[in-house]
Amino acid sequence: MTLTRRDFSRLAALGAAAHFVPTPVRAQSDQKKTGYAIIGLGRIASHFMAGAHNTTNSQITALVSGHRDKAEKIAAENNIPKSSIYSYENFDEIAHNPAVDAVYVALPNSMHAEYTIRAAKAGKHVLCEKPMATSVEDSEKMIAACKAANKKLMIAYRCHYEPTNLRAVNLIRDGAIGQVQTIQSAFGFNIAKGEWRTSKAMAGGGPLYDVGIYSLNACRYLTGEEPDHIAAYASTIDHDGRFNDVEENVSWTMHFPSGIVASCSTTYGANMQGYFRVYGSKGWIEVDDAFSYDGLRLRANLSGKQIDEPSTAHDPSHFQAEADHFSHCVQNNLEPQSPGEEGLKDMQYIAQIYKAAGINS
């Protein structure tokens, strides 16, 4: 992902506006809103729906679920007609619903490709959760399907639209810490038994697919470079039945063309606060809770000048900025800042990390 300073400044403004600018300033009441069908009604879908409701250019117009009772309850809460509730079996009928412009895919990883491709064939734009799929091949098929249908595909990298992450990138691009030398990043949690994420068939892999991808992607947007060499290790320490299908821990290093070296770790065996630390020739920047929905905090030493900036944004502001951006792109025929190609790159690097760690992907 290569973005200019102007790109980041514009995105930072967009992210901040999503939280601070009053609705009347952003749009007139008669502005057309992009209608979303939510595919999968789990935890993350509820965050996205709340965020979309807080925008001036997005609305929830349909639901797709295998649980009719749950869908009807959510539909009633969101003024969605029962006729706009779909099952996975009759999902393709969404093509005939003019109130749906786009879909938000919030399903287990293994289902991302199928429903992205079906949505594109139904004539709908797609905002798909990360990781975009469980294989490089499926990721490429998703991109091809959306291109063939002339529909937009955006991967839901919400940190690309979050003000604290964008502030860190701007400081680095402006040379505030000099030449970047090294980056450290980690994210993980102690997963419960029975989670679908511990099934390789559903998740594609272990914590690297789920939360490690945040560190992987962050190192790419912080440097503005693509890694040219990767080394990795994986391990399973707790043999309690949770990790029969997927690994428990992955640590990897990435070397970038400029010489920057990044060191990252992810786990399903311990609670590991998501963070990144960037060390440069003139100072350093760190963001704690960097990948969380709220509570982010940026600290820095810029040639001796100390900065401590807690974020004032709260959940679901990340999802609000994300929905705002994609709806804006749909309405103005613009390319999203995190298109399918961005997700494909991470899938390619995940495959390289797995290979370096000796894991069969």
Question: Residue 74 and residue 308: Cα distance in Å, rounded?
Answer: 40
Closest CA to 285 of 274, 294, 276: 276
Question: Residue 91 and residue 144: Cα distance in Å, rounded?
Answer: 20
pLDDT tens by residue, 85-118: 999 999 999 999 999 999 999 999 999 999 999 9
The per-residue pLDDT for 95 is 98
Give catalytic status of residue 130 as yes or no: yes
Q: What is the pTM of this model?
A: 0.91
The per-residue pLDDT for 5 is 42
Residue 109 near residue 202 (C-beta atoms within 8 A): yes
Matching residue, tokens 């003024």? 79
The per-residue pLDDT for 123 is 98
Question: Residue 333 and residue 34: Cα distance in Å, rounded?
Answer: 12
Q: Which domains does the chain possess?
A: 5-158 (3.40.50.720), 163-312 (3.30.360.10)
In which region does residue 78 sit, left (phi positive, over 0), alpha (psi from -120 to 50) or beta (all else)?
A: alpha
The per-residue pLDDT for 77 is 95
Residue 277 tokens read as: 């630390």
pLDDT tens by residue, 290-336: 999 999 999 999 999 999 999 998 999 999 999 999 999 999 999 99
Which position among 124, 130, 152, 345 bears the catalytic label? 130
Q: Which residues of the chain are modeled with pLDDT < 50?
A: 1-10, 12-30
Helix (H, G, I), strand (E, B) or coil at 77: helix
In which region does residue 198 sit, left (phi positive, over 0), alpha (psi from -120 to 50) or beta (all else)?
A: alpha
Give catalytic status of residue 33 as yes or no: no
Matching residue, tokens 């970047």? 180
- The neighbour count for residue 335, using CB atoms within 10 Å, is 10
Matching residue, tokens 């509570």? 295
The per-residue pLDDT for 17 is 32
Which position among 214, 293, 349, 354 bears the catalytic label? 214
